[in-house]
Amino acid sequence: MHVEFVEEADEFWSPSDINSAIKDLSEADICRLNSIAKQYSYHCSMNVDDILNESIFRALSEKRKCPINVSLIAFISQTMRSIAFNERRKNEKYNPIDDSTAPLQDKSVSPEAKTAVHQELNAILELFTNDNDITFYLMGLYDGLTPDEICELGEWDRKKYSSVQRRLRRSLNKHYPNGREK
């Protein structure tokens, strides 16, 4: 099994450096961040602007520290992913989804099995923290979306959908060469 050890960063972007970098973002960078925020907004109760603004606020207030060796775009993207995922878990905890729409809300499934599925999903999502497409794909599957719905929400064609599936499958095979633990 391949394991990478990442040393903790000794240096972080300062709030003034982050502020300057945000002001220097190109129009393409801003569009990219909005597109990422749009993907994550489908999976939680926050809108696009709220997710993006919250991630920038957390960076500027140093609630989340960006290592100096990480690009600001990647850092903001991962902060948005974390915000959306946590918001979704919080909403599920307090406002369970209607049983007819959520596969994990099936009453025939034991609470232990549900917990195991959530833990496995969290572990898999952690493997792909730097791949927004795979994260979006997994969240779509978790929501019970069809391939056509995932393509529509992600503004993908079927070729990209298949490519994301292959990348996920290959990465999982690499990380779990003997299959997943049961």
Q: Based on the domain organization, do 52 and 106 belong to the same domain? A: no
107 and 86 within one domain: no
Domain identity same for 104 and 119: yes
| Co-location of 16 and 70 in the same domain | yes
CA distance 50 to 149: 23
pTM value is 0.53
Dihedral, CA of residue 141, residue 86, residue 168 and residue 177, to nearest 10: -110
Residues 119 and 180 occupy one common structural domain:
yes
Question: Is the residue at 5 inside a domain?
Answer: no
In angstroms, the CA 154 to CA 42 distance is 9
Q: Are residues 50 and 118 both part of a single domain?
A: no
For residue 84, what pLDDT is reported? 85
User: For 24, which DSSP code?
Assistant: T
Question: What is the DSSP code (8-state) at residue 84?
Answer: H
| 1 in a structural domain | no
> Which of 50, 72, 95 is the C-terminal boundary of a domain?
95
Number of domains the chain contains: 2
- Tell me: do 76 and 152 sit in the same domain: no
Residues 115 and 157 in one domain: yes
Same domain as 102, residue 87: no
Asked if the structure places residue 110 within a domain, the reply is yes
Domain enclosing residue 23, as ranges: 12-95
**113 and 169 part of one domain:** yes
Give a yes or no: residue 52 inside a domain: yes
- Looking at the structure, tell me whether residues 89 and 105 fall in a common domain: no
pLDDT recorded at residue 10: 63
The residue out of 68, 95, 122 marking a domain boundary is 95
Asked if 108 and 86 sit in the same domain, the reply is: no
Nearest to 126 by CA among 182, 65, 82: 82
pLDDT in tens, 54-86: 999 999 998 888 888 888 888 898 888 888 888
Q: Looking at 50-59, 82-91, 158-167, which range is the least confident one?
A: 82-91
Distance from C-alpha of 169 to C-alpha of 139, rounded to nearest angstrom:
15
- Flag whether pLDDT at 140 surpasses 90: no
- Residue 34's closest CA among 46, 48, 24? 48
